[in-house]
Structure 1
Amino acid sequence: MDEKRTQTVRSDADPPSTVYGLKDLWIEFSQSTGLHAVDKIKPPSCSPFTIRGLAWILALCSTTGFLVYNLVGEIGTYYSYPTVTKITPQIKHAINFPAVTICNRCTFNNTRLEVYPEMENYFFNISQGRKRKDSFSHLTSDVFQKPLSLEWLQNMSMEGSKMLFNCVFGGDNFDCMTNFRPIFTHEGLCHTFNFNASKSVFTAGDDANLIVTFNINQNDYTFIRNMAAGIKVFLHHPDVHPDASSTVVTAAPGVLNICCHTNISV
């Protein structure tokens, strides 16, 4: 009797076993997790397996696979974007000045078109949006029924030496027609400064600007579609034709326009 009591007391004093198997760990996890459908995959659903348990296992695996697939795709898309902006500080003692192309808003000089008296009426109809067949003399018809030469267009356009009245760059006056080169664009005959990329500036501000005073010769204007007077300015790289430039500045008579280290006075 004493030996049995001793054995009973000793067995009651031993701590219970805390060894868990994978099945026990899964049951505890499934009962405490908040993940959807995990609590459905537990005994007796999966031991022994039932159709309900297999359906929940299939649903959970398929949705998990779909989630992983989308996450991998989104991460790949995120890292496939090119670099939008990359700033590298660099100290330069001088920067290249852009090419500046200047065009009169009116392409042709009315006084030079006087040899074609029908042209004034033709341009007037165009400016008013009228579409009509004008009758031209043989002289006018012979000229405009064949491709116009650049020499003819230059002779009939606004004269650059009269339009470019005074030019200053970096505080120094210079001869406008020596540093401006004639060039044809969709705006007609224009003139480009720094066409050979030879100009650079060392400081910012008015002292480093290009300052040009114009005489637009509005009295010599022909009729044009928008009936506007003034100039158009294209800022572009010297190697790029001004027709491809999207940086266009317009200035009306009597306006001082400052843009991109360029002062324009009309």
Structure 2
Amino acid sequence: MAKKKKPTHGPNDISPEEARQEFGITYDDLEKLMQTRGHEGILKLNESYGGLSGLGQKLKTNLISGLSEDETDLSLRVAAFGRNEIPPKPPKTFFRLMVDALQDITLVILIICAVISFCLSFYHPTDESFQAELKQKEANVEWIEGAAIIIAVIVVVLVTAFNDWTKERQFRGLQSKIESDQKFNVVRNNIVKQIPIKDIVVGDICQVKYGDLLPADGVVVQSNDVKVDESSLTGESDLIKKHESKDPFLLSGN
């Protein structure tokens, strides 16, 4: 039974407040339930929600035939619990990329040298001799050295920032394509079908096969020797056996 990753609301005609009233459980309740493990989780599931059957009733889910294909019901679930997707971080602005490029120690040293060069080009001792006059004429063009360094730094920063901006756009485009191509098996109207992972809603009955990467948090409704790699959580390399009567909680990404 799928649970959302994070409540990111999409455009629909149903307000989240109205949608939440249609179900006997809230997003926060599901989040707290998924934070429990093992025996503690089983107790909470049984005492607070009446076990798997009670949880199914609160989510208005048939544990055998799954959800219907009714668009109103699916939209209601999206409005109440959010979409099954993690919002991407906003891309860095071009100015932010320029600032990051300026963190290079070589560029910092060049900027310091340019400032020193500028200062020295406009400084001259108060000596009226011919030697001093000659130095003054030379100083009138010495500022060009500092300006050249500054221009070189600006060019390097702009080129670096533009390259980073282009790479980030390409990466986001590739990531978006990969996510749109990812699909998972769910049971709807008693029929197993593949749908995009982002279209999985709270209450969906998902069919997990060997080697699958879990697309959302959920609980085991029915299992046959299900084992999950939870090394990212526990640090242990051994596979953890999951069963509806012992440890039914599954976390996305495992």
Fold equivalence (TM over 0.5): no
TM-score relative to the length of structure 1: 0.27
More helix by share: 2
Higher-RCO chain (CA-CA 8 Å, sequence separation at least 6)? 2
More strand by share: 1
Q: Which has the larger radius of gyration?
A: 1
